[in-house]
Amino acid sequence: MTADTEILKVEIEGTIATLTMNRPAKRNAMCDALLDAIDAFFSRPPEGVRVVILTGTAGHYCSGLDLSEHVARDAEGTMRHSRNWHGVMDKIQFSGLPVISAMFGAVIGGGLELAASTHVRIAEPSTMFQLPEGMRGIFVGGGASVRIGRILGADRMCEMMLTGRKYNAIEGLDLGLAHYAVGEGEAMDLARKLATKIAKNATLSNYMMIQAISRISDMSKSDGLFMESMCAAVSQTSEDAGEGLKAFLEKRAPVFR
């Protein structure tokens, strides 16, 4: 099944949805219409989809905010626009669907913010990570100071923004901007393989990993441990947990709901 909009292609094969940002002439730069299309998908994911792959076209993942379509806003308007980005990035991170980024070419500014809201990131050799906002006289507004800051650490992110420093795929892998580095043209193959594997997990355990782990990192040690116990109690008393134990004892692969 394939459904295309002008700027976002949606292809569904079984339990896996592939979203392809489709603005090739702009290196898939983010505009409000593309953000709205991504928002619409994650607001109402098609029934039966268990994993999402997010990627770009024409050699680039996403080159960030389309500055050619920049709208002059006052302080309040800018804040509201930034908060809308935050809402969409949160929806990607916490929709409950695992999201895999298959990355190549530009992963810049808002594109890196977008990738950082996904759960698995795969980088081809052409991948280039950058936060160039400082060179444009602006500050990040799509969640980078939180998500990317937590990946890199505040000190390294500050240097990255001050200097406009670029990182390649291997450097990004070492820093945590990517989880996998693959050969040219191999990101989608690995993304599909990992998506197929993740889709076989119990949906409840996937949901809990997505919802709980990043939140636990925000909590005190004691609160985090309590939350872990709550998640363990709910998941380990589920129907799927019973199937997982039974499958282990019967030496077969589990079949979750």
Q: List active site positions.
A: 113, 133
User: In three state form, how does the secondary structure of the chain look?
Assistant: CEEECCCEEEEEECCEEEEEECCHHHCCCECHHHHHHHHHHHHCCCCCCCEEEEECCCCCCECCECHHHCCCCCHHHHHHHHHHHHHHHHHHHHCCCCEEEEECCEEECHHHHHHHCCCEEEECCCCEEECCHHHHCCCCCCCHHHHHHHHHCHHHHHHHHHHCCEEEHHHHHHHCCCCEECCCCCHHHHHHHHHHHHHCCCHHHHHHHHHHHHHHCCCCHHHHHHHHHHHHHHHHCCHHHHHHHHHHHCCCCCCCC
